[in-house]
Amino acid sequence: MAEELLGNVLVGQSGGPTAVINSSIEGVVAEALNHDCIEEIYGTLNGVLGILNEDFIDLASESQQTIRALRSTPGAALGTCRYKLKKQEDYERVLEVFKAQNIRYFFYAGGNDSQDTADKISKLAQEQGYELRVIGIPKTIDNDLPVTDHCPGYGSVIKHVATTVRQMACDHEAMGQGDLVSILEVMGRNAGWIAAGASLAKRRDHPHDPPHIILLPEVAFSAEKFIADVQRVLKREKHCFVVVGEGLIDADGNYVAAAEATDAFGHAQLGGAAEFLQGLVEANIPAVKARTAKLGIAQRAAVTNGSKTDADEAFLAGQAAVLAAINGETDKMVTLLRGEADHYTVETGLAPLADIANGVKKLPKEWINEDGISMNYQFVRFATPLIQGETAVPHENGLPVFAKLDKVRVQRQLESYEL
């Protein structure tokens, strides 16, 4: 048992929100309240920006009802950011704030870049001899974090995508006469996990169910093959349903649709793959109507189509982060480990932050059928347990009700910082 470390907790959220990232915050708060060595439980508003600005709220002062309601609230209740700590002074400022607020436990819910940031903060604390325990909490709808079996947020997004495919397919079946191509664009910068999830819309033993074509970043795009695949489907069906990941690339490794702009971490701004495919269809297949739909941020906020399994595992990851830190662990990220039994079970583990930071886990090639546009049973077996159960969302006057934190501010101890 590690030596008890007396001090305050700080938890933050970073990157794109998910339908269940707030469940992890609920898990952190619920577990932190159980330990006497934790004096205060703070949340940083807007991730590392909140740390630099010393903009913290007192999570222990929130009502237990509000904290529990985070389980069914989308977005990032603490606010998020895509800010990159750019210079050594930024990291020094983080440590100054931690010392001023006696932060001894830091939990950061985020993806690849966020885990890299947490790792660098922890290393600086060690260099300065400041005792700090840092644990990352996995979060990304893209499901592309290395080491962990899957990521909280993924189950809910593919449940929503597959549900959307089934609903749209009913419309297209009614409207199509062998002349309709519908293209649904989903997120997924470097990996096709979300697009692959659309395959769950197919009923067992109904291989011709929509989606008929799934285009993944892992399979180099060929315009000629795509047109041939569409024509083959239209000969057989009333409509052709295509799902495309935004990160689709050509044979040269270039995105088929990307803006010149990049974010703070240098990532290209994606979007437009569906319109690109629409143009190909209309230019090459006469008398065919091509329509596009883009789920955009709606797919990561769709808690009303959320997976109970996903929300429960996000809570579990938050709990596990606190327990790991209390037990003396640091520089680790919580992982989800799938059990060996036939029925689905999961437990938590830990992996070094350095093994997670900036890595990308691709969709296994062996889970993609030889046609390059559909998924096999191995993927279905992997993904189906993750979408089980429905998130219980309270409603009022017919509409969902979400948690709102009171956000009682923690008194600042330092002068303001120039970003």
| More confident of the two residues 243 and 286 | 243
Task: List binding-site positions.
Answer: 16, 112, 140-142, 187-189, 246
pLDDT of 87 higher than 50: yes
pLDDT of 313 higher than 60: yes
The model's pLDDT over 30-47, given as tens digits with 9 standing for 90+, comes to: 999 999 999 999 999 999
Q: What is the band of 141 on the pLDDT scale with cuts at 50, 70, 90? A: very high
- What is the distance, to the nearest Å, from the Cα of residue 331 to the centroid of all Cα atoms in its chain? 21
Strand residues in 187-316 grouped as ranges (E) = 213-215, 239-245, 258-262, 268-270, 289-294
Q: What is the band of 263 on the pLDDT scale with cuts at 50, 70, 90? A: very low
Average pLDDT, the chain: 93
What is the structure's pLDDT at 342? 85
Task: List binding-site positions for Mg(2+).
Answer: 112
| CA–CA dist 373, 210 (Å, integer) | 12
Q: Which residues contact 363 (CB under 8 A, 6 or more apart)?
A: 191, 192, 193, 196, 216, 218, 379
Contact 273, 185 (CB under 8 A): yes
What is the structure's pLDDT at 258? 64
Catalytic residues: 142
Q: Using CB atoms within 10 A of its CB, is residue 111 exposed (0-12), middle (13-18) or buried (19+)? A: buried
pLDDT of 149 higher than 90: yes
Q: What is the band of 281 on the pLDDT scale with cuts at 50, 70, 90? A: very high
Phi, psi angle pair for 119, to nearest 5°: -65, -45
pLDDT of 265 higher than 50: no
Q: What is the band of 111 on the pLDDT scale with cuts at 50, 70, 90? A: confident
Please tell me whether residue 407 adopts helix, strand or coil conformation.
coil
Q: What is the mean pLDDT of residues 236-243?
A: 96
Q: Using CB atoms within 10 A of its CB, is residue 83 exposed (0-12), middle (13-18) or buried (19+)? A: buried
Task: List binding-site positions for diphosphate.
Answer: 16
pTM, 2 dp: 0.93
pLDDT of 376 higher than 60: yes
Q: What is the band of 261 on the pLDDT scale with cuts at 50, 70, 90? A: very low
| CA–CA dist 74, 46 (Å, integer) | 15
What is the structure's pLDDT at 356? 86
